[in-house]
Amino acid sequence: MPKAQELADPDSPGSAADRLLAWYDRSRRRLPWRSDPGECADPYHVWLSEIMLQQTTVATVGPYFQRFLEKWPTVEALAAAPLDDVLHAWAGLGYYARARNLHKCARTVASSHNGVFPDTEDALLTLPGIGRYTAAAVAAIAFGRRAVVVDGNVERVMARLFRVGEPLPDSKPALTALADKCTPTARAGDYAQAVMDVGATICTPKRPKCTICPIVDLCAGRDIAETLPARKPKPQKPTRRGVAFWIVRPDGAVLFRRRTESGLLGGMMEPPSSDWVADAEPETAPPVETIDQTPLVGTVRHTFTHFHLELAIHHCRVEGDTEAPQDARWVMPDRFGDLALPTVMKKIVRHAMKAG
C-alpha cells in the first residue's frame, strides 16, 4: 500500500486530486443544487441539499429539493414556516429528525446569524443537524475553504485507492487521515464533489467501473475493489407486530393522530395503532369506542433501520358524534394529501382504501 507520506502534493500537477478535478471538469453532472462552473454556490442551497442527501440518493432528493426551494426560497422563509409544513414537505424522505433539525437550524441562522450561514467548519458544526461531514461539505462547496469531506463515497474511494483491509467502522480514522492527505487547498469544493461523484458513478459499491476511472493507475486496491471497504457484520433485524386501526365515521372521516415529537417517525401523522411488539401478541383495542371492528385481509409490511414491522389493519366504525382523542383528529379522504404521512403510513392508507 502506498504510504500516505509518499503521496504527491495534492496541489501539484499529476496528483490524484489534480486528476480528479480534471475528470470533474470534463464530466461534471448537472444537479439542481450545483452552481454553474465558475459561479458561487448559494450556501442555503448547498446546506439544504447536503442535509437531504444524508442517507439518501441523488434521484430521490431532486424533486424534494425543487419543491422546498419553490416554497421557501430563502433560509428566512424556511425559518418562518410552521414545523408541520416542513414535515409535510419532507414526508417520504425518511429520517424525520433531519427535517426537525433542518427547521431548527433555519431558525437559528435567521435569528442568531442575521440569516447568513456561518462560513467556517467550526461555526457550522454548532448548528442543529450539521455534523462533521456536512460542516466540511458546506465550508468547502459554499465557501471554498479547504476541508476534509468524508462521506460513504469518500470512504470507499480511499479504502480502494490505499487498499485498506481493516473493516469499517474501525478504519474510519485511517480513511479520514488518507482523505486529508489527498485534499488540495485550491478548488476545495470542486474537489470534494469530484471524489464523491467518482464514488457515486465509477467507484461504486458493486461492479466498480475501474476501466473508466481517472485514477485507476494510482489505485492499490483495483484488483480487489469490489471487496472494499470491508465492514463488520451487522446484527439481523427482529420483527415487530402491531395492529393499525382504520377508524371511520359515518360521514367518511378517518381518525389520524400525531406521533410524539421525538423518536421513530417523530411528529409525523398516522392512523392510530397498538404498540409494536417483538415477542408478544399486539393489543387489539382501538383508542375510541367502536360500533364494529373487522380485520382486513392481508398485512402491511415495512422495514425500518433496525426492525421489520408487520401490521394487521382493523377497519372500525364509530358513531357520528365520536370525539377525537388528544393529539388525534378526523380527516376527510380528500384531505389526506395535507397530512405529513411517512411511507409506512401511506401503505396503511392504501391498504385500507383498497379493502374498504
Partner DNA sequence: AAGACGGGGTT
Partner DNA sequence: AACCCAGTCTT
| Residue 78 or 318 with smaller CB distance to DNA | 78
Give burial (CB, 10 Å; 0-12/13-18/19+) of 346: middle
Residues in the chain: 356
Helix H or strand E encompassing 135: helix 132-143
Distance (Å, whole) CA 114 – CA 129: 19
Is 76 among the catalytic positions? no
Provide the 8-state DSSP code for 327.
T
Write down the least CB distance from residue 273 to DNA, Å: 14
| Residue 55 or 185 with smaller CB distance to DNA | 55
Write down the least CB distance from residue 249 to DNA, Å: 27
| Residue 262 or 326 with smaller CB distance to DNA | 262
Distance (Å, whole) CA 134 – CA 216: 28
Nearest Cα neighbor of 48 from 29, 66, 36, 30 is 66
| Residue 190 or 270 with smaller CB distance to DNA | 270
| Residue 26 or 234 with smaller CB distance to DNA | 234
Q: Which three cell numbers stand for residue 11?
A: 496541489
Enumerate binding residues for DNA (CB under 7 A): 54-57, 59-60, 91-97, 101, 128-135, 151-153, 155-156, 199, 205-207, 231, 234, 236, 263-266, 301-306, 342-344
| Residue 60 or 293 with smaller CB distance to DNA | 60
Write down the least CB distance from residue 67 to DNA, Å: 14
Label each residue of 209-228 as H, E or C: CHHHCCCHHHCCCHHHHHHC
Write down the least CB distance from residue 347 to DNA, Å: 9
Per annotation, catalytic residue among 50, 121, 155, 270: 50
Q: How would DSSP label each residue in 36-68? A: PTTSPPPHHHHHHHHHHHTTS-HHHHHHHHHHH
Q: Which three cell numbers stand for residue 203?
A: 467507484
Distance (Å, whole) CA 346 – CA 336: 10
Q: How many of the other CB atoms lie within 10 Å of CB of 63?
A: 11
Write out the catalytic residue numbers: 50
